[in-house]
Amino acid sequence: MPTNTAAWLTTAQAHPLDLQPAPLGIPSTHQILVKTHAVAINPIDTKLQSHAIYPLTYPTILGEDLAGTVIAVGPDVTRFQPGDRVLGCSAGFATQRNEEKAFQTYSILQSNLACPIPASISFESAVVLPLGVATAAAGLFNPDLLNLQLPAQPAPPPTGKTLLVWGGASSVGCNAIQLAVAAGYEVIATASPKNFAAVKSLGAAQVFDYHSATVVAELVAAFEGKASAGVYDAIGGEAAWVPVLEFVQRTEGGKMVATVTRGFASPPGGVVMRQVLSLSIRENFVGRAVFEEFLPRALEMGAYVPAPEPLVVGRGLECVQAGMDLLGRGVSNQKVVVVL
């Protein structure tokens, strides 16, 4: 049996992460065991370490994004077999099982949150996708959020509706744009001017500078005569909520705002704002529809691309801490990746 190693967060706010042996997970029903070849780092990882924003049982392992090779499959798994290259979103943050977290040599994935990696895509490129896809999909397609129609390959006929994605160059924003376009929606996005071209390349019809003092007026004008499908806020915080809520109040159509962070005040009358919970899709139809039915073919056909670009900071679990520190200082239109 192989031996497993993990980057442990030993106590609240401990720094650096501690490399120590870890139990080797055994895949149960609808699970796969993966040898990790690349992990990506997300803002939630840095917040959990530096601010202990959620109660955790220590020592614990962090990490949601991984790409690697299937080693074993659990009962009833037919989509994968040993040797397959896969990307996946770890469910450990919801299950509280360390075996289901990413920052380790071997990790357990739920099969409905995993997707084959085409031969044309490297592990370090593929690993930018999982949590971004899951978060975007939860906000876009869950019935209690934006409740958009599901994506398909080839894309369905245009719905005639337009979605605003606030923060289109972020990891979640990149995936929200691609998923919404693949579901038949026009997308208008915001980003920094330096990222306009990248955001448009993902399918956004128009992009506006969210730093501009007139951005809300510009967006209202862009949506004139359009049927709004609502807003996906991929940034969160007051800097996003204030203009987003003003935009929704000044436009006709969808009054739902899906946002990636919590802590917002009750929105004005007629507007609904709800936090996106990424792992909610592991228990409903959305995970299967996106990770099983849509994404594999879309990646294989080149109709969906890994975005944003990976920023590889090193090789080995010992580099995860450096990656977390770098992300904490801030990156733009990149995803911090460590190759194992």
> What is the pLDDT of the chain when averaged over all its residues?
97
Terminal alpha carbon distance of the chain: 19
Q: What is the pLDDT of residues 231-241, one digit of tens each?
A: 999 999 999 99
What integer is the mean pLDDT of 243-266?
95
Q: Would you state the pLDDT for residue 289?
A: 97
pLDDT bracket for residue 95 (50, 70, 90): very high
pLDDT bracket for residue 53 (50, 70, 90): confident
Q: Which phi and psi (to 5°) does residue 252 adopt?
A: -90, 155
Q: Would you state the pLDDT for residue 52?
A: 87
What integer is the mean pLDDT of 128-151?
98
Query: DSSP character for 111?
Result: G
Q: Would you state the pLDDT for residue 83?
A: 98
Helix pair angle (171-182, 130-141), 10° resolution: 50
Task: Quickly tell me which residue has 């990770």 as its tokens.
Answer: 291
Q: What is the pLDDT of residues 145-174, one digit of tens each?
A: 999 999 999 999 999 999 999 999 999 999
pLDDT bracket for residue 1 (50, 70, 90): confident
pTM (2 d.p.): 0.97
Handedness of CA 157, 162, 168, 173 (dihedral sign): negative
Give the least confident one: 43-57, 59-73, 175-189.
43-57
pLDDT bracket for residue 37 (50, 70, 90): very high
Is 55's pLDDT higher than 90? no
Is 112 in contact with 30 (CB distance < 8 Å)?
yes
Q: What is the pLDDT of residues 279-333, one digit of tens each?
A: 999 999 999 999 999 999 999 999 999 999 999 999 999 999 999 999 999 999 9
- Could you tell me which residues come within 8 angstroms of residue 329 by beta carbon, excluding any fewer than 6 positions away? none
Is 243's pLDDT higher than 90? yes
Separation CA 87–CA 171 (nearest Å): 15
Note the helical H segments in the chain. 43-50, 92-95, 123-126, 130-141, 171-182, 196-201, 215-222, 238-250, 285-287, 295-300, 320-329
What integer is the mean pLDDT of 222-227?
97
- Could you tell me which residues come within 8 angstroms of residue 106 by beta carbon, excluding any fewer than 6 positions away? 2, 4, 24, 25, 33, 34, 35, 36, 71
Q: Would you state the pLDDT for residue 212?
A: 97
Domains in the chain (CATH in brackets) are: 5-128+309-339 (3.90.180.10), 134-279 (3.40.50.720)
